[in-house]
Structure 1
Amino acid sequence: MDNAPDILWLSLESVRADHTPMYGYKRNTTPSLDRFASQPATTVFDNGIAQSLWTPASSASMLTGTYLSTHRVGQDGRAEKKLPAAIDTLPELLSDIGYETALFSPNPYISKATGLDRGFNHTTSVKAVPESYSPFQSDARIYWSEGLRRILRSRKPNLARIKHELKTTENEVLEHHAKQWLNSTGAGADQFFAYMHIPGPHHPYFPNTDYLNCFTDEISFSAEEAYNLVKDIYYGGSVAIKRGMAEGLDLSANEWEAIEAMYDATLRHMDATVDALISKARSVSDSLVVVIVGDHGELFGDHGLIGHNLVLHDSLIEVPMLISGIPDAVTDETTLTQQIDLTYTLAEITGVTTDQFEGRDIRDTSRKHAISQRGQANLKSYTQYDDSFDTERFFKDPYTVVRSEEYKLASNQNQTELYRLPDEETDVQKNCDDVMAELSSVIDREGIEWTGEDQQRGSHFDDSQLEQLKDLGYLS
């Protein structure tokens, strides 16, 4: 333990790599992350791959170092099953050797409800709307002071905007509690592991007053028009999103541009939170490893889809991935790095690696493949709105993607497709026997199977968590 580092893991909600300047994006959506990326101790991974397309599955992978087909959280497409008791979490293993461990999450899918709080000595469920409005309660003070500050800055406050400003203070609440913990516990601990899930970019992409106008001077819509467009398309949760996709997304190029401007503005808010948390952690630690990674990407009309649904295309699984404090991490344009590779490496450097971990060491140069997986797809939840919605182009059952630099194999027991990137529509397997054999062997080598005895207990979300999931658009 003497040489073990402190660890700050920042999981970024719904951030696709190609919307950040580190990966060549036209807008400066994440200036703080860009500065962090340019520091000598930081490695920016050229090809960061998410283990799945949504938060429960990817988060469970990051916290356990295992694939979705192993941990099975979110395999049902609804996150109605908890993490199996037989699977350890990285914080459990670190806690066993003396680490102080803390979880800060505004997403109920990363909580006791799913078992993803296991191993954390301290947990904070971050909520924008406090349970008590008493000025003596810290969350209430943040709620009122932050919400009112934004309302006063708003040029044209109306009831809808006021409600929005008061219901979107998760970043500020998370930052407050995380700083408190780092000051009191983190600074006094021999070693700490803090896992923080940073909100913001998840649909419906409603920027608050501070960030609403960040990128609207570059589009043909006013800030208010762009905001209302996003509201029309995304407000109403999964029902509105699925209905929109089923009925067809007949939007102009200018409308898509406006939607992405709203998404980019929420990235800027998230970026400010990340900057504050890194600064505070560095102020209390002399030996700090910082991990920053998107949990999954997002779709903006790609393949007729929005949000994060149905497919494992690169828009959803290519995520920003950075690490600071491990100087011999390896990356280049041919190397692929999975989320669980980060978990494996942290287990290695802290001495808690077990046979459970399915990733590879980021200091290894032979990382030429990455795996991503999606669970069950409920295609009827789309065709109920329009039975002409083409479901044949999607995998219904759980499937695995093996990604190389040039190709992507998508496969389950019922069907197999091979794409030559960046084309993710044309199946080329008939002309690529050698590639098929190579990528199929990865699935065999990893021992990936979707069968197995169901020993998972059911997840349980309380009323407050269900409200949070509705606000995030998961529920209607």
Structure 2
Amino acid sequence: MRILFIDIDTLRPDHMGCYGYERCTTPNMDRVCAEGIRFDQYYCSDAPCLPSRASLVSGMFGIRNGAVGHGGTAADRRLTGPERDFTDMVDENCFHNIFRRAGMHTASVSTFPERHSSWWFNAGFNECYNVGGRGGESGERVLPVALDWLKRNEGRDNWFLHVHFWDPHTPYRAPESFGNPFENEPMHTWIGEETLELHKRHTGPHSINELSMYDDSTNPKFPRMPGSADDMAGLKRIMDGYDCGIRYTDTLVGQILDLLRAQGIYDDTAIIITSDHGENMGELGIYSEHATADYPTCHIPFILKWPGGKKGISESGLHYNLDLLPTMAELLGVKPGENWDGKSYAKAVMEGAEAGRDSLVISQMAHVCQRSARFGDWLYVRTYHDGFHLFDKEMLFNIRNDPHEQHDVKAEHPEVCAVGAKIILDWHDEQMLKSDSPIDPMMTVLHEGGPYHARGHLDAYLKRLEETGRAEGAAKLREKYKRA
């Protein structure tokens, strides 16, 4: 069997045609979707990049594997401790080793391990290719390596190939020669002029005034990436930059698929298309950043074309990305790991049966410290460090009616908040009892100075807020964080 895993960084499902987007961003991936299964409620358990892949690869929630942030102690996966054998069982039972155990030759084209010093990601691969861009490269450097591997392995059976593209991630870096396919197309956005004016008064990094996180600086190497936006034309430039990154990636994916077709193996190749996380594109006043434990950041696409599996259907059950481990193990006849937190949805793949969970708990510790419960129509968000966005401790959104989180309805539905809080509490207790450590890594993040992307920036940001007409927000931050 052959399996191709397309890993596209920072890809929102609702910016893909197969998920209903009106712009033509993903024609090649849409075709794969039509030949397989689209999962509509798929989430990373831990956001953003490093924590998401740590959970996927280890099969454990971040609260157990320890890697929940982008810096400090909690950016590293925990050591196993005295129980560690000659090889670490976390690596022995990792996602990539599922395919090795199934008799496959495994290869990866990705700069993720070097970008985040997360070398555990390479466990289970026979071959690893690093083009050296540390996540700053465009796909034009990745594609030739992937195509070359496929050409050199033509005629070979039983392989798993992981190909990782960063292009939708900021800074938007699709080559200038690609142009802008959406230059003369309108935006398809929920943001109007009134909302944009409200967002221009927002307090917090990666607002419409500070797309570079804490300021509006730009880099001439990335002409598609503005530092801020003042009007609807500026907003369109942001949306076009993101969508161009997606469309450009789709063209690269299309070339890989075309090669599989030319080699006569496309129909018999399993294809997985997914992302590590989504992206805030105006939700909660945040732009071009994966900064929260909410719907736009943690909701990710998942498309699976599986030979012998269901075709042309969608599945609406709640799933974590770490559920992929037991699913692949079951589909490939591999014994599951004893410490995995995932739940197989192989029946959805082979029979079209609903195989989702009743609820999910999703987490973010790199930009903010939040844990959220996703259940029914609801998203309940609990904030422990707001990353200078002045979020309330509790927020509640009806995702079915309000997917862009414009209306916090906690005051109207305290009973729903109670349900969400209990889901998080029960999940926390269960995970801590299963954990080999008595320490919740979120507490480590908080005690080491807060989320990595919020450390050391507050004083300069307070000054910027005051200089850009947002003194009221600065005053609230000064009071909250005890600044003179």
- Does TM, normalized by the shorter one, top 0.5? yes
Cα distance in 1 for partners of 2:60, 2:424 equals: 15
Give the match for residue 171 of structure 2: 204
| Corresponding residue of 1:243 | 215
Contact 1:297 1:315 in 2 (8 A): yes
Identify the residue that residue 247 of structure 2 maps to in structure 1. Answer: 268
Give the SS at the match of 1:310.
Answer: coil
1:323 lines up with 2:304 in the alignment: yes
Q: Does 1:58 align with 2:57?
A: no
Partner of 1:292: 273
Cα drift, residue 122 of structure 1: 0.4
Assess if the C-alpha contact under 8 Å between 1:211 and 1:269 holds in 2: yes
| SS of alignment partner, residue 319 of structure 1 | strand
* C-alpha distance in 2 between matches for 1:210 and 1:96: 43
Question: Shift of residue 298 of structure 1?
Answer: 1.7
CA displacement at 1:172 relative to structure 2? 2.9
Q: Structure with the greater relative contact order (CA < 8 A, sep ≥ 6): 1 or 2?
A: 1
Distance 1:413 1:28, change over 3 A: closer
Equivalenced residue count is: 376
Structure 1: 5+ residue runs without aligned partners?
130-166, 221-232, 378-395, 457-476
Match of 1:183 among 151, 166, 170: 151
Following superposition, the deviation at residue 366 of structure 1 comes to 4.2
Deviation of 1:330 after TM superposition, in Å, equals 11
1:104 match: 109
**Pair 111,426 (structure 1): closer, same or farther in 2 beyond 3 Å:** closer
SS in 2 for 1:419: strand
> Is 1:358 the equivalent of 2:353?
no
Residue 450 of structure 2 aligns with which residue?
none
Cα-to-partner distance string for 1:39-63 (whole Å, 9 max, x where unaligned): 2xx1111222223332111122222
Query: Relative to 1, partners in 2 of residues 1:93 and 1:219: Cα closer, same or farther, differing over 3 Å?
Result: closer
1:150-174 alpha-carbon deviations (Å, 9 max, x no partner) = xxxxxxxxxxxxxxxxx98642332
Query: Hey, what's the Cα distance between the residues in 1 that align with 2:167 and 2:325?
Result: 24
Alignment of 1:76-115 (within 5 A): 77=71, 80-82=75-77, 84=79, 85-88=88-91, 89-108=94-113, 113-115=118-120
Determine the structure 1 residue equivalent to 2:201: none
Deviations, residues 405-458 of structure 1 (Å, cap 9, x unaligned):
4001234789554333224652527735367337734762572349936899xx
Equivalent residue, structure 2, for 1:11: 7
SS of the residue aligned with 2:303?
Answer: strand
The 1:65/1:300 distance shift into structure 2, 3 A limit, reads same
State the Cα distance separating 1:36 from its structure 2 match. 1.7
1:335 match: secondary structure: strand
Provide the C-alpha distance between the structure 2 equivalents of 1:117 and 1:249, rounded to a whole number of angstroms: 37
2:371 paired residue number = 400
Q: Which amino acid aligns with 1:269?
A: Y
- Write the deviation string for residues 359-398 of structure 1: whole angstroms up to 9, x where unpaired: 2222252414333211254xxxxxxxxxxxxxxxxxx54x
Superposition deviation, residue 18 in structure 1? 1.2
2: CA distance between counterparts of 1:111 and 1:416? Answer: 31
The within-5 A match list for 1:8-47 is 8-39=4-35, 42-47=36-41
Question: Which residues in structure 2 correspond to 1:367-378 (within 5 Å)?
Answer: 367=356, 368-377=358-367
Moved more, 276-285 or 317-326: 276-285
Distance 1:36 1:239 in 2: 33
Q: Residue 12 of structure 1: CA displacement?
A: 0.7
**Are residues 411 and 438 of structure 1, via their aligned partners in 2, closer, same or farther at CA, if it must alter by over 3 Å?**
closer
Contact 2:2 2:159 in 1 (8 A): yes
How many percent of aligned residue pairs carry the same amino acid? Answer: 19
Residues 241 and 306, structure 1, Cα contact 8 Å, conserved in 2: no
SS in 2 for 1:47: strand
TM superposition shift of 1:200: 0.9
Distance 1:181 1:216, change over 3 A: same
Q: Give 5+ residue unaligned stretches, structure 2.
A: 80-87, 188-204, 218-226, 349-353, 386-392, 442-484
- Out of 126, 131, 143, the position equivalent to 2:131 is 126
Distance 1:62 1:425 in 2: 31
Do the aligned residues in 2 keep the contact of 1:294 with 1:320 (CA within 8 Å)? yes
Output aligned runs, 1:416-455, within 5 Å.
Answer: 416-421=394-399, 422=402, 423=405, 426-428=408-410, 431-433=413-415, 436-437=418-419, 440-441=422-423, 444=426, 447-449=430-432, 452=437
Q: Which amino acid aligns with 2:181?
A: C
Secondary structure of the residue aligned to 1:180 is helix
CA distance in 1, matches of 2:54, 2:260: 24
1:80 CA drift (Å): 4.0
| Equivalent-residue separation in structure 1 for 2:175 and 2:214 (angstroms) | 25
* 1:96–1:361 CA distance, 2 compared to 1 (3 A): closer
Question: Residues 251-301 of structure 1, C-alpha deviation per residue, up to 9 Å, x if partnerless?
Answer: 322211121112111211100111222343463747422110021112233
What is the TM-score with the length of structure 2 in the denominator?
0.67
Per the TM alignment, residue 92 of structure 1 is displaced from its structure 2 partner at its CA by: 2.6
Find the aligned partners of 1:455 and 1:306 in 2 and give their Cα distance.
29
In 2, distance between residues paired with 1:334 and 1:290?
20
Q: Contact 2:66–2:75 at 8 Å: present in 1 too?
A: no
Q: Paired residue for 2:380, among 404, 409, 412? A: 409
* Contact 1:294 1:321 (8 Å CA) reproduced: yes
TM-aligned CA distance change 1:371 to 1:77, over 3 Å: farther
Q: Distance in 2 between matches of 1:370 and 1:200?
A: 28
The alignment's TM-score, normalised by the length of structure 1, stands at 0.68
Aligned partners of 2:133, 2:423: CA distance in 1, in Å? 47
What residue is the counterpart of 1:388 in the other structure?
none
Q: Which letter maps to 1:292? A: I
1:325 is displaced (CA, Å) by 0.6
- SS state of the match for residue 119, structure 1? coil
How far did residue 332 of structure 1 move? 5.3
After superposition, the Cα gap between the structure-2 partners of 1:405 and 1:218, relative to the gap in structure 1 and judged at 3 Å, is same
Match for 1:49 among 43, 56, 73?
Answer: 43
Q: Which secondary structure does the structure 2 equivalent of 1:448 belong to?
A: helix
